[in-house]
Amino acid sequence: MRVLVTGGAGFLGSNLVDALVARGDTAIALDDLSTGSRTNLKPGVTLRVADVSNEAALYQAVTGQEFEVIVHCASKTKVVESMEKPELYRRVIVDGTRNIIALARDRRARMLVNISTGGAIYGETPTCATEETNTDPPSNYGKFKLEAERLAAAAPVPTISLRLG
């Protein structure tokens, strides 16, 4: 299987790329390298550099690349910074997800996996959160991740959002 991993040079994305390659899949990493690093990727992994919130750059970066599945890990992740820089976080998380959904549609991807967050969406809970727990994101990071999940749920391709953390 050919898989495009956004945020592919970051912590989570690069570990996913390693796992995909280890099982015999072809992984293509897409990253803007704002926090990720080429050194996180093993030799032979294709890296395309682009910001997911820049639609033109995103499409240019994947020109000529074939993939069946997109795993969308790209994100800004600092809760406190999300309160200080809401425009940046909205652009990367919400607009970036919108662009990835469009790419999945346009390239006829079989599946889109959206990596979300757990704790930042639920806020403080007295017990472990479940799917039935009300969402109450106290930070912009959580609010934007929840908005991205809603976009993903309405995507015109089969999509799943994973709440990690």
**pLDDT tens per residue, range 113-162:** 999 998 788 878 888 888 888 888 999 999 999 999 999 999 999 999 99
Q: Which of 69, 32, 35 is nearest to 54 (CA)?
A: 32
Overall average pLDDT of the 87-104 stretch: 99
Angle, to 10 degrees, between the axis of helix 96-106 and the axis of helix 140-153?
20
**3-state DSSP call for residue 21?**
helix
- Sorted by where each begins, the domain ranges of the chain are 2-162
Mean pLDDT of the chain: 96
In this structure, which amino acid lies at residue 85? Answer: K
Known catalytic residue: 89? no
Q: 2-162 architecture in CATH?
A: 3-Layer(aba) Sandwich (3.40)
Q: Is the pLDDT of residue 63 over 90?
A: yes
Which of 59, 89, 122, 141 is labelled catalytic? Answer: 141
Q: How far apart are CA 13 and CA 9, in angstroms?
A: 6
Listing from the earlier edge strand, what are the strands of the sheet with 69-72?
Answer: 46-49, 26-31, 2-6, 69-72, 111-115, 159-162
